[in-house]
Amino acid sequence: MGPRRHRIQTALAIGLLLLGGVLINALAARHPLRVDLTADGRHTLAPITRELLAEAEGPIEIRAFLPSRIQPPYRRAARALRDTLAELDAAGDVRLRIHDPTDPGLGPDERAAMDEEAAGHGVEAVPVQLAEGDALVQRQVRFGVALLYRERQAVVAPIERPADAEYALTRALRAVVRDETRRPVIGVAAGHGEPDLVDSPVAALLEPLGEVQRVTLDGRPLPARIDLLLIVGPRQPFGERDRYVIDQHLMRGRALVALLDYRPPSTVFSDVLVPLETGLEPLLSAYGVEVDPSRTALDRTRALPAPIGRDANGRVITVNHPLFPRIRDLDPDHPVTRGLSSLAAPLAAPIAVERARGLGLDAHILARTGPDAATRTGVATLDPAKYAAPDAEAETPGAVPIAAAVAGQPPSAFRERPRPAPPEARGAPEPPFTDRGRGEARLAVITSGTRMLAAGENALVFLQNAVEWALTDGALTGLRARAAEDPPLEDTAAATRRLMRYGLTAGPTLLLLLFGGLRRWRRRR
């Protein structure tokens, strides 16, 4: 009976162990628990998302059309949308229905009804690859999420990156809860040698924030529908009439985001830098924002790789260049730079906002160079050898700001100056002059433009954040920054880290020893 009893006990133990595993999994499915150890809480619903859910005075209907058999780049993004929707459903008064347009079990009538419902909610069909048996086929599939609240509706278009799921859903949630369904208009400045952003991938990044239009600054007033003017890397200076047009745009309580270049490369010699003033400096100075184009920031300890030429085989040569500093001193609390740990700012010029505060404006330094940085005059070449050693005569050591944000009701730059005459009768009549802001104007300036965008290093996130802050309150910029960088782990105490390390290392072994000891003790009894 001894061996038989032992076999029965072993079988019972294994059975109870399996049953316990099933029960634990069932309990975990009903009551999921996750621990988010990232410093920015990116695997937890953001406070702004929960705030919007709490603001809703009634249920929020969500109709999601998420194909399951979809292939990259959308497959992981569709799964992230599904997971985030489940969290929204658990956190607020949400009525969620998720449909799978690729469900093979759907009949023709069911598929047609689902397609009609998705089209009625504004969810468009997109070309995707689907797995059908062992083959991949191209199909047009409804893919997106519609949020309905009261009489308002917003649609989340397909995303490609899983990290963008919460940002896209929260943006749509804010649109329906706070009635922000009107799309603002972003005017991209043209006519002064700027790059054509409207026909570039940058426009696609800005489209979720508003309707992107090209605006030629030719002396005529900006259209009243333009909410934000975006100026990137002008090569010809703005004249007095252009400055007047921009000034009156700001006086109407609108916004300006400017990414300015002050040392563009020569069109003849690529290593020669051409000194440039954009013509915006007098206008910015009238609002208390002072830019010094004669000086250029450099940092030998935080130098980023920069292209300086090509070798005999045509390959690009890169070196760590002092004129391409990595900016780590970013304002962690401002919406434009919140969540960003670094930024590339090639050939940036120093900027100051003390006078803006004296005018009663809310002025913030967004980014400044590091403590070992300096500014240098006479920067006329890209040759890194010219900047390998400090030059006491040309350099001033110390950190300098290179980006700023200003909000408020500034006085007009033409309050005490002659107003330039409008061009000869063309287009709409000249609006009446406004000598002080009639609403809150917003201004974001960084003194590194096209080179910054080309350098990457969070530049596009900075641009998106600046545009969103200038158009709204910027509450969602932190969600975008979550997707920009790898998630940093939460800073924990040294004792806690040691405990976790030792626990993970020795914990399983100790549990097995304890289990074996208990069994041996029971047998001896």
- Domains delineated in the chain: 47-177 (3.40.30.10), 192-421+432-475 (3.40.50)
Higher pLDDT, 438 or 328: 328
CA distance 409 to 105: 60
Buried b (16+ CB within 10 A) or exposed e, 334-361: bbbbbbbbbbbbbbbbbbbbeebeebeb
Q: Taking 70 as the threshold, does the pLDDT of residue 492 lie above it? A: no
Measure the CA–CA gap between 128 and 224, rounded to whole angstroms.
39
Q: Residue 339: what pLDDT?
A: 86
Cα–Cα nearest to 449, from 403, 406, 481, 405: 403
pLDDT in tens, 172-181: 999 999 988 7
Residue-level pLDDT at 408: 96
Of 337 and 160, the one with more pLDDT: 337
How much of the chain, in percent, has pLDDT values that exceed 70? 83
Residue 366 has pLDDT above 90, yes or no: yes
What is residue 392's predicted lDDT score, i.e. its pLDDT?
93
At residue 503, the pLDDT reads 59
pLDDT at 130: 84
Q: Label residue 51 by pLDDT band (50, 70, 90).
A: very high
Query: In the chain, helix, strand, coil percent, each to 5?
Result: 35, 25, 40
Q: Which residue has the higher pLDDT, 40 or 293?
A: 293
Is a pLDDT exceeding 90 seen at residue 302?
yes
pLDDT band at 452 (very low <50, low <70, confident <90, very high): very high
Euclidean distance between CA atoms 290 and 269, whole angstroms:
30
The better pLDDT of the pair 501, 124 is held by 124
Judged against a pLDDT cut of 90, whether residue 504 lies above it is answered with: no
Q: Spell out a b/e string for 4-23, using b for 16 or more CB atoms within 10 Å of the CB, else e.
A: eeeeeeeeeeeeeeeeeeee
pLDDT at 171 over 60: yes
Rg (Cα) of the chain, in Å, rounded? 29
Quote the CA–CA distance of 159 and 123 in Å, as a whole number.
13
Cα 336 from Cα 158, distance rounded (Å): 25
pLDDT exceeds 70 at position 383: yes
**pLDDT given at position 32:** 52
Q: Phi and psi of 498, rounded to 5°?
A: -65, -40
Token output for 224? 């009243």
- Burial group, residue 117, by CB count within 10 angstroms (0-12, 13-18, 19+): middle
Please write the tens of the pLDDT for every residue from 242-252.
Answer: 999 999 999 99
Could you check whether the bond before residue 221 is cis, i.e. omega within 30 degrees of 0?
no
pTM of the model: 0.77
Identify the weakest region by mean pLDDT among 28-37, 40-49, 224-233: 28-37
Please tell me the predicted confidence (pLDDT) of residue 36.
47
Q: What is the mean pLDDT of residues 179-184?
A: 85
The number of beta carbons lying within 10 Å of the beta carbon of residue 402 is 28
Cβ 406 vs Cβ 358: under 8 Å: no
Residues paired with 368 in a beta bridge? 329, 401
Whether residue 228 is predicted with pLDDT greater than 70 in this model: the reply is yes
Q: What is the pLDDT of residue 429?
A: 75
Model confidence at 484, pLDDT cuts 50, 70, 90, reads low
Tens of pLDDT, residues 61-76: 999 999 988 888 788 9
SS3 label, residue 413: coil
pLDDT for residue 279: 96
d(CA 252, CA 247): 9
Judge whether 298 and 387 are in contact, CB under 8 Å.
yes
Q: Please determine, for residue 443, whether its predicted confidence score (pLDDT) is greater than 80.
A: yes
